[in-house]
Amino acid sequence: MINEIIRKIEQFDKIVIHRHVRPDPDALGSQLGLLKAIQKQYTNKKVYAVGEQEDSLRFLGEMDEVNEQMYDGALVIVCDTANKERISDQRYEQGACLVKIDHHPNDEPYGDVYWVDPTFSSTCEMLVQLMIDCNWKFDPEIARLFYAGIVGDTGRFRYDNTTAETLRRTSVLLEQPFDRNEFYAQLHKKDIRMLRLEGYILQHFHVIEECVGVMKITKETLQDFQVTANESSQFVNVFSDVEGLMTWVFFVEEDEQIRVRIRSKGPVINQIAAEHHGGGHPKAAGANAYSWDEADLIVNKLVDISKKQVIK
């Protein structure tokens, strides 16, 4: 698959790179890191990154303005996006060829060529391996972007998706002289709005059956704290260290749906996410609910699987 992707990159002079909506560091790191990597190896190619801008991650890079004509005869690459519905900028089908590169379970195969491998911690880790295999040259900016995605999806190397191979690949990035202290300062900086919302969450989350943590944030709460739904996502793990929690769920109300983020310390939760218009990894998944009753149903399902895990 890597060889086939490289052949496609070499075949096309125009390349447009997409990723998923509401991007996290892996989405942006893989998208922008791949863009920089292609530009470094093939200086004659025109490469663009598209999608909505996420202000809290703007330090990773900016999106390009791309008109319809740019897609004519172009290679389109989608990074870190399991299903087509979640691709940011739905013009991805207007190119001449579509490539998918992703580390989520391949529940919805798409693209003329796709490389999907859930054994990697992140799409950024996959792209590090691509560069190693192809003998592509790294530089500090490419390393910084791929490092961002690996750090984000491994929880700073704390999650059990961090393997020995993950650390070996990361070590290649650390050979480049980018400023890690500055990177972490940018990644974790919070203004007063975010700090106050974090305090609110710590005061208002609750624990059910001593094993499931639940937080519900309404549209009114977001407005009160002047925080966007996407900005609130960084708090999904803020109460995860509570003793006894097996799973936890973070609900954020938007205009037409309730965004659901589910995490686990053991029970497999992506099947529950799939039952509610979502999916993801066995221990980190996302879904959508369309009423608070449906949100409560998700909580009940998490209680059931969490209690079974406790009994074991």
CATH number at residue 289: 3.10.310.30
Q: pLDDT: is 71 or 158 the higher one?
A: 71
Nearest to 138 by CA among 162, 171, 115: 171
User: Is the pLDDT at 311 greater than 60, yes or no?
Assistant: no
Q: How confident is the model at residue 160 (pLDDT cuts 50, 70, 90)?
A: confident
134 and 99 belong to one structural domain: yes
Q: What pLDDT does 310 receive?
A: 62
The domain in which residue 303 lies consists of 194-311
Q: What pLDDT does 231 receive?
A: 87
- When divided into structural domains, the chain yields a total of 2
136 and 164 belong to one structural domain: yes
Q: Which amino acid appears at position 69 of this protein? A: Q
- Among 157, 187, 217, the domain-final residue is 187
Instruction: Report DSSP state, residue 280.
Output: E
User: Is the pLDDT at 309 greater than 80, yes or no?
Assistant: no
Half-sphere exposure of 82 (CA within 13 A, CB side): 18
113 and 183 belong to one structural domain: yes
Under 8 Å between Cβ of 300 and 291: no
Phi, psi angle pair for 263, to nearest 5°: -135, 160
157 and 253 belong to one structural domain: no
Nearest to 127 by CA among 180, 187, 79, 163: 79
**Pairing verdict, β 75-79 and 14-18:** parallel
Q: What pLDDT does 248 receive?
A: 97
Q: What pLDDT does 312 receive?
A: 53
- Among 170, 187, 204, the domain-final residue is 187
Q: What pLDDT does 157 receive?
A: 95
- Among 187, 221, 248, the domain-final residue is 187
Q: How far is CA 308 from CA 22, 158, 245, 274, in A?
A: 33, 25, 13, 20
Q: What pLDDT does 280 receive?
A: 83
303's enclosing H/E stretch is: helix 292-311
Q: What pLDDT does 234 receive?
A: 85
Question: What whole-number percentage of the chain has pLDDT above 70?
Answer: 99
* Model confidence pLDDT, tens digit, residues 236-275: 999 999 999 999 999 999 999 999 999 999 999 999 999 9
Q: What pLDDT does 189 receive?
A: 85
39 and 154 belong to one structural domain: yes
53 and 96 belong to one structural domain: yes
Place of tokens 């007063």: 192
163 and 206 belong to one structural domain: no
Q: In whole angstroms, what is the distance from residue 196 CA to residue 112 CA? A: 46
DSSP character string of 239-254: TTTSTT-SEEEEEEE-
User: Is the pLDDT at 55 greater than 60, yes or no?
Assistant: yes
Estimate to the nearest angstrom the gap between the alpha carbon of 147 and the chain centroid.
13
* Model confidence pLDDT, tens digit, residues 121-132: 999 999 999 999
Nearest to 253 by CA among 296, 218, 205, 292: 218
- Strand boundaries in 69-131, DSSP class E: 75-79, 97-102, 113-116
199 and 181 belong to one structural domain: no
Mean pLDDT computed over 291-300: 97
Lowest mean pLDDT among 57-66, 119-128, 248-257, 280-289: 280-289
280 and 162 belong to one structural domain: no
Under 8 Å between Cβ of 37 and 2: no
Mean pLDDT computed over 136-159: 96
User: What 3-state DSSP class applies to 169?
Assistant: helix
CATH number at residue 124: 3.90.1640.10
Q: In whole angstroms, what is the distance from residue 292 CA to residue 112 CA? A: 39
CA-derived radius of gyration, the chain:
20
104 and 89 belong to one structural domain: yes
147 and 37 belong to one structural domain: yes
70 and 112 belong to one structural domain: yes
